[in-house]
Amino acid sequence: MSFDPAARGRGRGGRGGGDRGGRGGGDRGGRGGGERGGRGGRDRGGRGGGDRGGRGGGYDGGNRGTYGSRGGGRGGGRGGPVSIFRDPNYPAEAPDAKVAKMEDDYHKSSSGINALGKMSLNQRFPSRPGYGENGRKVQLYANYFALNTSPSFALGRYPVTISPSMDDKKKKREQLFNLILELPEFANIPLATDYASMIITPNKLPFKEERVFSIPWRSEGEDDPLSNAQIYKVRIGSPTSYTIPDLVQSLGNISAANVSEVQREEAIQAMNTVMGFFAKSQKGTVSIANNRHFSTAQAGNQHNFTTLNYGLEAIRGFYQSVRPATGRLLLNVNVTHSVFLERGPLNVFFQRLGHAHSVVDKIKRKRVEVTHLAAKKSKSGIIIPREKTIWDLARPSDGRTEEHPPQVARYGAGPKEVKFWISAEQSSTKAKTPPKSGSKQGSSKPAVTINKYITVYDYFKSKYPNIVLDAKFPVVNVGNDLNPSYLPVEVCIIKPGQIVKKSLLGDQTRLMLDFANRRPEPNAMSIITSGKQVLGLNNKDNPLLSKFGVQVGNSLITVQGRVLPPPVINYKNRQHRPMTKTPMDGSWNMRDTRFHTCGDLGNWTYMVVESDKRGARWNHDHAADTVEQFRAHLQGAGIGVQGWMGRPAPTPKHIDGNETATSADIERVFRMMSTSSNFKKPKFLLCILPVDDVMLYNTIKRFGDTRAGIHTVCVQHSKFTKGDPQYFGNVALKFNLKAGGINQTIDKLGIINEGKTMVVGIDVTHPSPGSKDTAPSVAAMVTSTDKLLGQWSGICRLQGQARQEPVSELEPMFIRQLDIWQRKNKMLPDNILIYRDGVSEGQYNILLEQELPKIRNACRQKYPADYTKKSLPRISIVVCGKRHHTRFYPKDTDSADSKSNCPAGTVVDRGVTESRNWDFFLQPHQSLMGTARPCHYFVIQDEIFKSQKVKAPHKTSADSLEELTHNMCHLFGRATKAVSLCPPAYYADLLCTRMRAYLADQYDPPTGRTTPEPGNYSTPSTNAIGQGRINIHQDITESMFWI
């Protein structure tokens, strides 16, 4: 499980839903385990930080701190003075003046009269219209090092293919590449490899054409291959050469020699291979996905480790990636965190945790060192540990095809309950194995009687009398289900550095967040100390860099940033007159205000849920009294509450651990509210929940949204009944939006103020590790309905294939949203501004090839000929990226906020960007914990801004888009603070999260029994999920039901 507290969130990867608040740290909640979300993700509230609230009680916790001025729940920040990063060895430098000049010159050249002839034929995306100039200028550190190379620096890339294939055997493939690098033909030649498909060298290899080598397999540390060793045919193909200075020159000069996009990407891949080789080749360093590296050595490195309990530990490692920027290559380095299986004796692991199914899952396919056999030694005296891989616990179905299959009493049986057939004296508990040579502990003991069944316990008692076995611990299978081999846990030691992709428990999440949430200064210090050491960025530690002709900058680079002023927020006062609020540090309060436009709830009531769960709290009389207080609060905020029904809804019961019974009772209540002649159907239902339970929340949302068409807002009894006005205010924000109201507005929205622009947010959520095979991907789209951007309409559709990113049903989805805009505005929009979330850099082109044509087809069906003759609508697409590793650190106190981060409103479009592309980094919010992560905005299509005359005070379209995006971040209706992600993308993300709530049985299925019976496996249906499961009831389908 990877973990980045400033980014964990994605409102999708976990069990969370809509208004529940996220588990994750950072600014968007917690997306969950794995790179893009694990099963569970941020399923239990989470500690928060950033703009998505705090730990919260699940349902409402995600909004703590949004009403009033208190901050983001538990993520409300740690006190203390502002701390500024300073490199103790190198003085801070100003941003590189040469780079700034190249940036300015590039823009002048690209906007000149002859620019079209000079532009690269490879230009896929709109050219940058210039650099932004609005805002107060500040100097910032960026987590990048300069990469310097010699003028003649070139790399040769040799493709490597292996037969028989080793694609599914990562560890063995890595060892085979080590054997390749040891070939005498490569002696004294600097080499680097990705351990997968290529060898990189600055020199030519000593053969002109492709060459095939026959390499006998030899395990790590062994001096010679075995006589029967597997022979691998390794084909090293003809090289492709990359002249890196040509690439660098093309990054800074519009007239430079063309470097194709393919050449550019391959050259950067080659550079990444060179820069990553040191860490990947070091013993004691674990590499994940080629660019994340973790040192497992604890000596002198304890500060980068923490225990998470329950057999898990967290390690702080380092991410690195070579990035192109104007006139130079940069090395992006960031701290990263991941969860690993805690090293140590396996019997201690089971002693502490037991062997429930969830515990056993952690050790499956994990490596252990076995201690009952003497370790091997190489000729040089190096100890070669004996290692095995745990397949599972012993199962009754093991070895079912053998003549004498093992006899296993039950799943997870102990050593006295597992028998195997022994047909010769053995050093292991593997049936039918001929005698093995070598020294063994206890080998002086008499041979075990052969041709009979024997328990693992008796075998070890006879063979290894010094090893004391505990019968209550399970036996592990280090073979496989067809060819089992059993070991007692007492002879197994868990190897360090084995990543775990399972979801974390609540307490583990807290510990992880405490470990990972750090301010900029300690993170920057880690990068220039431990990071440089682990990654081998000092030439004295990594002499291969000098042999390749690469020099890494001494310290982090600095860049110019700007702090944009916040917009003025519009509300109404108690007398219904306009009033304004000015944000401070990205937030403001609603004291003595009313919403800008107030909605009416119609018929509404509340529902108290009872529970048999230990610690559950509910009290009908107390709830009734608090509802009266809340009704007065809503009325004071201007919301229409005259439809109060005067009595609560029937009471369903939450049966702890029985999802079926709970779901049935909730369905009964919703059906009765919808159909009973004795109870008028409410439009709104305030749900007062006795416990923080994700299943209960998901069930209510599913029935309310898709079956009954009743708006539901969930609160936790223990918090709601305190009667806190701030808490009431947070809940009121959702009520007003769901009722069609507008919470706040701003005046400065550029072209949107003209009322002719529809703003769109698009996102796609995918199955997570742990999801069922039948779990689908779901696409979500939200669109504005007016020029105030206060109300939005949404639509969701299942994707044609799971894990497919381009939206398959985009055309009909777009037509439906255009229909809604046209009905509400009496016209079609001239401009369509799309913020597309969840897309990696490598997929930008796919959006233009697959999504843009569908959008144009939808417009052709809707727009009359007189519109299309005017080239309407104009379409611009901006990709929003939060899953990057760029961070900015204040250089001095003038560029820092009270949390030691860059101040709210920070924008950077120089220094770490490319001149030819139109992109920028924007941090509109104040991060309450850890290091703030800016959002990266990249324009892949522009027909709007290039057609508009730039209006003062803006000097370029860059200013226009940056200000518009920044101001829009103050319009997230569920908060009284700026959010890190532009609201259209944020709303689409929330809509995806709501879809996950409806499909929780697919995305987050129950773990199952702790001791499953052999052979009891379900066969997934290929067509188990239909669109009907996520269709919204017609009564609320055009509302902001997901908020």
pLDDT surpassing 50 at residue 976: yes
| Three-state SS letters, 432-460 | CCCCCCCCECCCCCCCCCCCEEEEHHHHH
Let me know how long the chain is.
1043
Sketch out the chain's domains with CATH numbers: 344-494 (no CATH), 598-738 (3.40.50.2300)
206-220, 246-260, 879-893, 1015-1029: segment of lowest average pLDDT: 1015-1029
Return the pLDDT at 943. Answer: 97
Where residue 1018 falls among pLDDT bands split at 50, 70, 90?
very low
pLDDT of residue 875: 98
Q: Assess whether the previous peptide bond of 873 is cis (omega < 30° from 0).
A: yes
Phi, psi of 20 (to 5 degrees): -80, -20
Residue 54's pLDDT band, with cuts at 50, 70 and 90, is very low
What would the mean pLDDT of 127-142 be, rounded to a whole number?
A: 96
CA dihedral in degrees (127, 132, 137, 143; nearest 10)? -30
Question: What tens digit of pLDDT does each residue of 827-840 get?
Answer: 999 999 999 998 99
What's the rounded mean pLDDT across residues 1029-1042? Answer: 97
pLDDT tens readout for residues 381-436: 788 889 999 999 999 999 999 999 999 999 999 999 999 999 865 545 665 443 33
* The pLDDT value given to residue 555: 96
Residue of 342, 315, 345, 320 lying closest to 331 (CA atoms): 320
Six token digits for residue 45: 């509230």
Confidence of residue 354 (pLDDT cuts 50, 70, 90): confident
Residue 55 has pLDDT above 60, yes or no: no
Cβ count near 465 (within 10 Å): 11
Residue (of 519, 541, 517) closest to 529 by Cα position: 541
**Chain center to CA of 264:** 27
Asked if 780 and 763 count as a contact pair (C-beta separation under 8 A), the reply is yes
DSSP state of 469: P
pLDDT of residue 377: 82
For 846, the token pair is: 């796919």
Q: Is pLDDT larger for residue 46 or for residue 715? A: 715
Across 1-22, average pLDDT:
43
pLDDT at 436: 36
Q: Which of 492, 416, 488, 486 is nearest to 458 (CA)?
A: 416
- Judge whether 782 and 793 are in contact, CB under 8 Å: yes
pLDDT digits (tens, 9 = 90+) for 481-531: 999 999 999 999 999 999 998 878 889 999 999 999 999 999 999 999 999
**Count of other CB atoms within 10 angstroms of residue 449:** 10
* Residue 574 φ then ψ, to 5°: -65, -20
Closest CA relative to residue 22, chosen from 980, 848, 807 = 980
- What would the pLDDT profile of 428-462 be if each residue is shown by its tens digit? 566 544 333 333 334 445 455 678 999 999 999 99
Q: Are the beta carbons of 795 and 801 closer than 8 angstroms?
A: no
The answer to whether residue 688 scores a pLDDT higher than 60 is yes
Cα three-residue angle 620-622-625, rounded to 5 degrees: 110
DSSP letter, residue 703: I
Average pLDDT, the chain: 87
Ranking 378-382, 533-537, 872-876 by mean pLDDT, the lowest is: 378-382
What one-letter code names the amino acid at 819?
D
Confidence of residue 655 (pLDDT cuts 50, 70, 90): very high
Q: 615: helix, coil or strand? A: coil
Are the C-beta atoms of residues 934 and 922 closer than 8 Å to each other?
Answer: yes
Helix ranges restricted to H, 922-982: 957-968
pLDDT at 429: 63
In 3D space, the residue among 125, 94, 42, 190 whose CA is nearest the CA of residue 548 turns out to be 190
Q: In terms of Cα–Cα distance, which of 931, 776, 694 is closest to 8?
A: 931
What pLDDT is recorded for position 381?
78
Is 120's pLDDT higher than 80?
A: no
Average pLDDT (268-294) is: 96
With 0-12 CB in 10 A as exposed, 13-18 as middle and 19+ as buried, what is 451? Answer: exposed
Share of the chain above pLDDT 90, in %: 73
| pLDDT score of 252 | 82
Average pLDDT over every residue of 201-211: 91
The token pair at 928 is 């309450």
**Taking residues 301-311, what's their average pLDDT?**
93
pLDDT digits (tens, 9 = 90+) for 572-628: 998 889 999 999 999 999 988 999 999 999 999 999 999 998 888 888 999 999 999
With a CB cutoff of 8 Å and minimum separation 6, the contacts of 188 are none
pLDDT at 449: 63
Query: How much is the pLDDT for 424?
Result: 62
pLDDT of residue 255: 66
Smallest Cα–Cα separation from 431: which of 416, 450, 458? 450
**Alpha-carbon distance 497 to 304, whole Å?**
13
pLDDT given at position 169: 81
Collect all residues with Cβ–Cβ distance below 8 Å to 165 and sequence separation of at least 6.
none
Q: Output the CA–CA distances (angstroms, integers) from residue 131 to 105, 137, 882, in the order listed.
A: 11, 13, 22
Q: Write the secondary structure of 160-220 as one string of H (helix), E (strand) and C (coil).
A: EEEECCCCCCHHHHHHHHHHHHCCHHHCCCCCEECCCCEEEECCCCCCCCCEEEEEECCCC
Assigned token pair, 377? 């030694």
Work out the percent of the chain whose per-residue pLDDT is above 70.
87
Contacts 24+ apart (CB under 8 A), 856-864: 857/811, 858/810, 858/811, 858/812, 858/814, 858/815, 858/818, 859/814, 859/818, 859/832, 861/815, 862/815, 862/818, 862/819, 862/822, 862/828, 863/828
971: which DSSP letter? -
User: Is the pLDDT confidence value at 8 over 80?
Assistant: no
- Using the predicted structure, report yes or no on whether residue 35 has a pLDDT greater than 50: no
- The region of weakest confidence among 62-71, 137-146, 790-799, 1026-1035 is 62-71
Q: What per-residue confidence (pLDDT) applies to 899?
A: 93
Token pair listed for 698? 């998901």
Better pLDDT: 709 or 353 = 709
**What is the phi/psi pair of residue 568, to 5°?**
-85, 135
* CA 212 – CA 161 distance, rounded (Å): 9
| Global confidence as pTM | 0.89
Q: Do residues 760 and 781 make contact, with C-beta atoms less than 8 angstroms apart? A: yes
Q: Are 5 and 12 in contact (CB under 8 A)?
A: no
Instruction: Provide the residue type at 81 as one letter.
Output: P
Beta bridge partners of 82: none
